[in-house]
Structure 1
């Protein structure tokens, strides 16, 4: 896969029941899944890779668009300078690191890096 800085690379959804979610998307669209512990599953064979995070909270906006950038600190500073607000600072996860931010309209997005 050709991963480029500042491109949408991943989409993440919330889910109440991960097994039910896997069954639905596999039966409906033939997506394939990989488990990452009891609270996260990643999907592929969908046109755009993504995942589902288990939640017990009410799902208001179930999608998180995730962009890629090879230099998280540099892009984080550009986002802040442009008026974005960091809602979750840089943290590690299996496969890389990421942070969340809101744009001036308060849409939440994330940026990740494998670096």
Structure 2
């Protein structure tokens, strides 16, 4: 079953963004390099990405079978904008839906 499990925010710099969300929401972040940090609550988590080409939010949907989802996206009229790649904790790809929204599908490993 697919479920929204992550939201990635493009930010100018991770430290000010971490400070803001820690102060306002009480969230804690784990650093994954100088330009990326994320909450790791296990619920719907959020990443702060200061090294991205994205200009808007990136919803990340967790799926059971990444390759089958990629095929379904293409068959349904979506366009793959970033092929499958590994990241700490799993693999994912980015796609554009027929309305132009960019999302990601991921599988945990």
Among 81, 84, 94, the residue aligned to 2:88? 94
Aligned residues: 108
Structure 2 gaps, min length 5: none
Q: Distance in 1 between matches of 2:2 and 2:96?
A: 15
| 2:97 equivalent in structure 1 | 103
Pairwise CA RMSD of aligned residues? 1.7
Structure 1 gaps, min length 5: none
> Quick one: structure 1 residues 20 and 35, their matched pair in 2 at CA, closer, same or farther if it must change by over 3 Å?
same
> What aligned pairs does 1:1-115 form with structure 2 within 5 A after superposition?
5-44=1-40, 48-55=44-51, 60-61=55-56, 63-115=57-109
Partners of 2:10 and 2:52 within 8 A in 1: no
Q: Distance in 2 between matches of 1:81 and 1:8?
A: 21
Q: What TM-score comes out, normalization by structure 1 length?
A: 0.86
Partners of 1:7 and 1:67 within 8 A in 2: yes
Q: What TM-score comes out, normalization by structure 2 length?
A: 0.90
Q: 1:55, CA displacement in angstroms?
A: 3.5
Q: 1:44, CA displacement in angstroms?
A: 4.6
